[in-house]
Copies of this chain bind each other. A is one copy, B any other.
């Protein structure tokens, strides 16, 4: 309950709050977070859970009841081992570090952030040891975002993926047939975009009676209640893709939130399985549906009606091809679907090295630049466009980055399974019928909440163990074809 109030405070802060209200909002958020921590770690609550775990429901209850008892207990034990002092220190330091990050990025000044970022990493290592004293500290942090995830497994998976993506990026760069994406950068009036993307989100199934769409510089999706899921996007009158793919991504998250069992809201059977699974839903709608030929067959007449001047001289096919351009670039959040994973992998390796003590925070900028030039072929000209570009580490989100690429891997495997189960899927998408795909996702993913860890959930839904090969296949097929590669 208090977590949803925290979510509302956060949503309002990003979308609505007057500028001078920020300092007090920090105090409000801290007050609610402290109360929430006390509730979560109340010994009486722990005793109640222990007696439930020894009672008959833990054996004979429904799968959801058993999940609830098991995971509430796991969560309680994790949280109860964390001293309130550490919770407070982390909250305070992360607020300061995020402010320092904003200043540091604006002036590209690493030294402004370094001391606070060192504190964040130290506190997170301490948190890892408290929460899961027997686990590897990176795995202990990962567990907050990807329960049951283990870094050696992910490392191996990423290595196999990397071995396929690097040649694909090179082949795209070397191709003589490169998609022309100029059509995406014409004039698309914001008011028309607002109607258009709202219609698209409604059509794929986002329920505006249970949600909203607002404007922020960084798009996000936030669940404020079982029937209250709020997504945001940004608007750029010079771009067809920015708002549309922002909304398809966030609406994908939103469809997952709206598809979780509402009667279990706030308890594990009503919670998302992991951030990787969450990201698989956003990526599936953004990339595997939203950039497909079939989607554009349906969407193009609507887009043409919304933007008659800018789309008068093009076709559904040429817009869709424009979306297939691959450009190695500095900034993760602006990256194309192929190179995106290289951005994620390097962050995963760097943060793990710091947590494991193999790299100091002070050495991060040089390690970043070196790794980036190896992967992308050029050095970031400034730290603002390099190590300082993401807020995650300053916000204490360490162990979070790998879930982005895990999401891409899960999305491709789930989409392949959905295609096998729904032989008419391509024809349905081309006709604007998205309900079959959504029903499949609801049934095989959303309905389970946190009942299974991500690997088990994907295996059960797709009929085989998690493998990056579906993502590899999908990228080579779509981007290879668009670049004239066999």
Interface set of A (CB-CB < 8 Å, partner B): 1-2, 4-5, 8-9, 12, 16-21, 23-25, 27-28, 31-32, 35, 208-212, 224-228, 265
Partner of A225 from B16, B28, B228 at Cβ < 8 Å: B28
Partner of A1 from B21, B28, B210 at Cβ < 8 Å: B28
Partner of A209 from B19, B25, B27 at Cβ < 8 Å: B19
* Residue contact A2 to B20, C-beta cutoff 8 Å: no
Chain B residue at minimum C-beta to C-beta distance from A17 = B228
* Residue contact B18 to A5, C-beta cutoff 8 Å: no
- Select the residue from A19, A212, A225, A265 with max chain B CB neighbours within 10 A: A225
Q: How far is the CA of A208 from the CA of B25 in the complex (A)?
A: 17
Partner of A32 from B5, B209, B228 at Cβ < 8 Å: B5
Main secondary structure of the interface of A (DSSP, over half): helix
**Chain multiplicity (copies):** 2
Q: How far is the CA of A9 from the CA of B28 in the complex (A)?
A: 12
Sample of 12 more A-B contacts, CB < 8 Å, known A18-B209, A20-B210: A16-B16, A20-B209, A20-B227, A21-B210, A21-B225, A21-B228, A23-B227, A24-B225, A24-B228, A24-B265, A28-B225, A35-B35
Residues in B neighbouring A23, C-beta threshold 8 A: 227
Partner of A9 from B8, B21, B210, B265 at Cβ < 8 Å: B8
The distance from the CB of A371 to the nearest CB of chain B, in whole angstroms, is: 42
Residues in B neighbouring A209, C-beta threshold 8 A: 18-20
Partner of A5 from B9, B17, B211, B265 at Cβ < 8 Å: B9
* Residue contact A210 to B18, C-beta cutoff 8 Å: yes
Chain B residue at minimum C-beta to C-beta distance from A226 = B24
**A227-B18 contact in complex given A5-B9, A24-B265, C-beta closer than 8 Å:** yes
The distance from the CB of A105 to the nearest CB of chain B, in whole angstroms, is: 23
Residues in B neighbouring A35, C-beta threshold 8 A: 35
Partner of A4 from B1, B16, B28 at Cβ < 8 Å: B28
Residues in B neighbouring A2, C-beta threshold 8 A: 31
The distance from the CB of A12 to the nearest CB of chain B, in whole angstroms, is: 6
The distance from the CB of A401 to the nearest CB of chain B, in whole angstroms, is: 31
Q: How far is the CA of A20 from the CA of B32 in the complex (A)?
A: 24
Q: How far is the CA of A119 from the CA of B2 in the complex (A)?
A: 30
Residues in B neighbouring A9, C-beta threshold 8 A: 5, 8
Residues in B neighbouring A20, C-beta threshold 8 A: 209-210, 227-228
